[in-house]
A and B are shown apart, each in its own frame.
Chain A
Amino acid sequence: MGRIPASYMINRLLTLFLTVFIAATLIWIIPRLSPIDPVDVMLGRMAAGGGAIENSGAILTQLRESFGLDQPLIVQYLLYIKNTLTLDFGLSTASFPTPVAQLIGQALPWTLGLMLVSLIITFIIGNLLGALMVWENTPRLWKVAIPSAMVMTAIPPLLSGLLLMYVFSSQLGWFPLTGAYGLNVEPGWDTGFIGSVLHHGFLPAMSIVLVTFGFWALGMRGLMITVQGEDYSVLAKAKGLRPRYILYRYMIRNAILPQVTAFALQIGGLVAGQVLVERIFAYPGMGKLLYDAILDQDFPVIQGLSFVIILMTAIAVFLVDLVYPLIDPRIRHGRD
């Protein structure tokens, strides 16, 4: 495997920074295009709670000052960029005065753990099943069973979650109903805690895997059909190679390439989590945080989450750009 040349690396890094920068700017601009004055909204909320407010004009001015809204736009923008760079997203208005960064910091590991594990499981299962749908040596039973199982893709994760909860928690009692770990364990790197986390994570992960593997399987099926018709697959057979070897080294190996890109794009998206899945399992991840923030109109949290999602997507794409030349020789040499 060749080394990654510096020029390529610099090029990719610049793209990464530029993407994040443009996205951060957009997040800042879009709310400012809206006619709604956040201070008005805040005041309105106070008024709804406490009736009429005296000196509302003075309070408005004071609020604007404390949020820096009396500054020229360009100053506000520069301040925002500086804060964003230091991952300072301000204070949550719903859980005032907790910093947004702290809320995200607490939620992120849970989501990353749950979603990354379920994404990897789905990726492997989905692609393998998709490949088996096309391979000519797949047992006939499988060729019937796999498309039938695809019915589950039609179920929204929310429902599959409830279904799994009903069967495996309420009825069978195999898995706990909600939460990320048991009340009887202390967080820490010991077997008790880790076991509890895995035990709690199983159902939410399964509810995601069940409904998303079809996405990968169908995509893989299409790619495999293309690869199957390629001349190199025909020649592989004419060479008398073993069918399993052809499946892995000639067919899946080539068909999987576009799927890797899709995988990276999903990593970015998974930070937002399966909002409703996290919600019904009361899983303390990013999805639940986002769900609550939207309900509470907690703009700093929404803004902070948006930025983190973009950052993760950009980093994932950057990593794929680095990995891709290692798995596809045509890319490695194509850029020369």
Chain B
Amino acid sequence: MTVLDIRNISIDFPTSKGVVHAVSDVSLSVPQGRRIGFIGESGSGKTTTALAAMRMLAAPGFVSEGEIHLNALGDTDILSLSEEEMRRVRLRKISYIPQGAMNSLNPVMRVETQIWDGILAHEAGVTQAELQRRSDAVLEGVGLDPKIVGRLYPHELSGGMKQRVCIAIGVCLQPDLIIADEPTSALDVITQRHVMQTLREVQARIGAGLILIGHDMGLMAQSVDDLAVLRLGELVEFGPVRQILENPQHPYTKELISSVPLVGGESFLDPTPAEVPKGFTTQDGTPLLELRGVGKTYGAVTALHPMSFTLDGAVPKIISIVGQSGSGKSTMGSLMLGFSPPSTGEVLFKGQDINRIGKADQLTFRKQVQAVFQDPYACFNPFYRVDHALKFPFKRFGLAQSEDHVRHAMEEACRAVGLDPSLVLSRYPHQLSGGQRQRLIVARALMLSPNLLIADEPVSMVDASLRSSILKNIHDLKDRHGISIIYITHDLATAYHVSDYVMVLYKGHVVEAGPPKDVIGDPKHTYTRLLIDSIPWPEVGRDWGSADDARAALDELARIGGTPRTVYRGDIPGFTLRQG
């Protein structure tokens, strides 16, 4: 039985610059109980198509052609329903699990009230006792304790718990179809596995169809039966997920599959050139960066336990810091940038304590240590053109000799990150894609020829196909420009490929450290092993475990307490690490 039938729909967004065809002529149907994945990059129309089935397209978008049928409504096209009729279809027949797990719940309402109001909007005369019974049942169904969680407010829940509450809301009226829009994109891998397995379990229990929207090929392989590949608003390939993964037909699908960096897989980087430029050296052997017993506490919370390392910088290195959110990895980045002083210990850059240097030296420090952050949208002042953003620090640090020199330096930096200077320099940030912006930030850092680059999650917000090319740019900074890099990430696969040394952080402790082939390729510490096990593999045959496995993994994680001893997995020249 077909639950949802999308017939030849096209979706248009009229704008002042003409009509944008967000989706063109897509047809697809969802059988009962089956899981369909929509995969594609941002702008591919995957969310737009799904939202059209909810009749919730953002203005001014509208369905210009085609029909959408819901089995529960018989022969009626849902596009012809009145607004009030459509309201009664939502949640009862089609439910939606949103992307932003963090903000999807009303912050001033208790969790159970937010389940009740959904029920009450569709069913009249439900008693309070009945409401309580039903909200308890659905919360239990997603593995939450209704006695405790039901009475809480959203801010008292973790990201994974919030997303499970959203799943509970989505299934409380037993809909025919569930649309889950990147339900785990804001979660770390361990929690992702738990939430995803919970969703599958609940969906199978009520027998609903599921549309899972996402961009992660691995997650799709582990979660869905059929896969729809969308690109620029067109459905380029549709079929059973195994068939698509093993025998992709469309070149774009092949590209999507091959662009996923895998632990132990083929490297996406260019081979290292024979001659790597020299990094930073001094006569007396002062290291580039040294942390001595550096720890950070915020009130009663310890973000980072005291640790020490030395990076000599003579031969440029990429040091990766991996961990899930809250592990203290970003705290480390901000300590190294001197954005916040450590609670204990000192951070030395070229032998000087960066928190005790004078104004003039501070300027030199800022020039020599550059940063690339996670959000390429927030890193540009929207009022200035791109050339201003690149020019400004260059001039401010006194590197400019003449206007020609500045222009030349900008163009060179753009080319180094694979951008055409004549196309990007005169634009405003909002006219560029996320990937282009992130490359420009790398270019801006490069122009100052720093000794050290701190890259905090530089690719987590850009599309998968762009990730490897931006990482390639960053890797080139090391290979061609002699810059040492601290790469902070939650993504083990990229850390595996780009880095010379990996530190795994858990609750502010370095639990395992060493060359990536050992640490990520063959983890020894429980936590690292859990991380690796939780990665969804883009192979259908590979078992991702059940919801129970995921729960057991979380329990195991909870048992890691006290001060775990760092598991050292070998050394590399030019870098030493110590606990305390």
Contact = CB atoms under 8 A, between A and B. Distances in A.
Interface of A: 230-232, 234-243, 245, 249-250, 253-254, 327-330, 333
A327 B108 CA distance: 8
Contacts of B98: 231, 234-235, 238
Interface stretch (B99-107, B324-332, B554-562): B99-107
Contacts of A236: 106
B108 A240 contact: no
B103 A245 contact: no
B244 interface: no
Interface string B135-168: 0000000000000000001011000000000100
Contacts of A240: 87-92, 118, 121-122
Contacts of B122: 240
A238 B96 contact: yes
B95 A231 contact: no
B109 interface: yes
Contacts of A328: 107-108
A243 B90 CA distance: 13
Contacts of A239: 90-91, 95, 117-118, 121, 169
Interface of B: 54, 56, 87-92, 95-96, 98-100, 102-109, 117-118, 121-122, 153, 155-156, 166, 169
A249 B109 contact: yes
A328 B117 CA distance: 19
Nearest to A256: B108
13 contacts: A230-B103, A231-B98, A231-B99, A231-B100, A232-B106, A234-B98, A234-B104, A237-B56, A237-B90, A240-B88, A240-B91, A329-B107, A329-B155
Given A239-B121, A240-B90, A329 B106 contact: no
A232 B107 contact: yes
The list of the 3 closest CB pairs from A to B, nearest first, reads A240-B90, A238-B96, A231-B100
B117 A249 contact: yes
Dominant SS at the A interface? Answer: helix
Nearest to A251: B106
Contacts of A230: 103
A238 B156 contact: no
Contacts of B102: 231
B169 to A, nearest CB: 7
B108 A329 contact: yes
A232 B104 contact: yes
Given A234-B56, A333-B153, 20 more contacts: A231-B98, A231-B102, A231-B104, A232-B105, A232-B106, A234-B98, A235-B98, A235-B104, A235-B105, A235-B166, A238-B90, A240-B121, A242-B87, A243-B87, A254-B106, A254-B107, A327-B108, A329-B107, A329-B153, A330-B153
Nearest to A136: B59
B91 A330 contact: no
Most chain-B CB neighbours within 10 Å: which of A234, A245, A253, A254?
A234
Contacts of B90: 237-240
Nearest to B117: A241
Contacts of B54: 238
Contacts of B108: 253-254, 327-329
B103 A232 contact: yes
Most chain-A CB neighbours within 10 Å: which of B88, B102, B105, B121?
B121
A242 B117 CA distance: 10
A242 B99 CA distance: 22
A255 B183 CA distance: 26
Nearest to B86: A240
Contacts of B153: 329-330, 333
B106 A245 contact: no
B409 to A, nearest CB: 39
Contacts of A235: 96, 98, 104-105, 166, 169
Nearest to B119: A239
A333 B121 contact: no
A333 B118 contact: no
A254 B154 CA distance: 14
A234 B50 CA distance: 14
B117 A245 contact: yes
A210 to B, nearest CB: 32
Contacts of B87: 240-243
A259 to B, nearest CB: 14
A229 to B, nearest CB: 10
A241 B84 CA distance: 10
Contacts of B169: 235, 239
Nearest to A137: B83
B91 A238 contact: yes
Contacts of B155: 329-330, 333
Contacts of A242: 87, 121
Contact of A250 (B88, B89, B106): B106
Given A232-B107, A250-B106, A245 B56 contact: no
A291 B482 CA distance: 72
Contacts of B166: 235
Contacts of A243: 87
B95 A238 contact: yes
Contact of B121 (A231, A232, A245, A329): A245
A51 B167 CA distance: 89
Nearest to B87: A240
Contacts of A234: 56, 98, 104
A294 B234 CA distance: 74
Contacts of B56: 234, 237-238
Nearest to A332: B153
B82 to A, nearest CB: 13
Nearest to A240: B90
A135 B310 CA distance: 57
Given A234-B56, A333-B155, A333-B156, A241 B104 contact: no
Contacts of B105: 232, 235
A253 B87 CA distance: 22
Contacts of B103: 230-232
